[in-house]
Chains A and B, each alone.
Chain A
Amino acid sequence: PWQGRSIASSKLHMLEFSAFLEQPQDPETFNKHLFVHIGQSNPTFSDPYLEAVDIRQIYDKFPEKKGGLKELFEKGPPNAFFLVKFWADLSANLQDDSSFFYGVSSQYESSENMIITSSTKVCSFGKQVVEKVETEYARFENGRYVFRIHRSPLCEYMINFIHKLKHLPEKYMMNSVLENFTILQVVTNRDTLETLLCIAYVFEVSTSEHGAQHHIYRLVKD
């Protein structure tokens, strides 16, 4: 049931995604603040399919040259492409403190045993500014293969970006900066180079009292 209702292709299903800040309170406890979060969902066949977005509406927000979003989509498979609109929670009190940990964790599952590569490109005005590439091996758990990218440290560029964003006095100013800030994550099978998931992330600042929010869309080309 998750196909078409969550971030899942026929080969790989994203279970969870979060970018967070851990602030130690005392030697034994810490506060965890989630900037963005996609939690575990258990869709059923009665749930509606994700809404679709025409991928051409967002091409220019992501790298357009060789290996860009257009080329990736043309290569397919089309059911591996998603757009996530995040409303990020920037309500945390950020101080420059080396004991703070900024991280990203994500989890995936598959019925296939494989080695995955996750490329995460941060883009400004559609141009890549930094890229992180991670390789994960599968663990067989409860009848399926699980991949965990656990507490991957956020890069210096992103930490500075969050701090600068936080310093802007008004939310509309933050949203104006975020209009030209995007992230493209591409998960591939390391050995076959097949695209397993391609997720385009776009952002606004949350105005909710309930923290980070998101909408997920299927990317299509009619």
Chain B
Amino acid sequence: SKQEQVPMRKRQLPASFWEEPRLA
């Protein structure tokens, strides 16, 4: 039974959560 989940994008997460670091 899969519950309908709130998409991660709609949750209260820091902006950095969506910013991939660009480190060499």
A-B contact count (CB 8 A): 46
Q: Which residue of B lies closest to A175 (CB)?
A: B8
Residue of A53, A210, A214 near B14 (CB, 8 A) is A53
Q: How large is the interface on A (under 10, 10 to 19, 20 to 34, 35 or more residues)?
A: 20 to 34
Q: Are B21 and A57 closer than 8 Å at their CB atoms?
A: no
B22 touches A51 (CB 8 A): no
- The reply to whether the CB of A54 lies closer than 8 angstroms to some CB of chain B is yes
- Given A51-B14, A125-B2, A125-B3: A179 touches B20 (CB 8 Å cut-off): no
A213 interface contact, C-beta 8 A: yes
Q: Which residue of B lies closest to A214 (CB)?
A: B21
**Using a CB-CB cutoff of 8 Å, which residues 205-222 of chain A contact chain B?**
206-208, 210, 213-215, 217
Query: Taking A213-B21, A213-B23, A215-B21 as contacts, is the C-beta distance between A57 and B13 under 8 angstroms?
Result: yes
| Measured CA separation A214–B23 after assembly (Å) | 10
Q: How far is the CA of A58 from the CA of B3 in the complex (A)?
A: 14
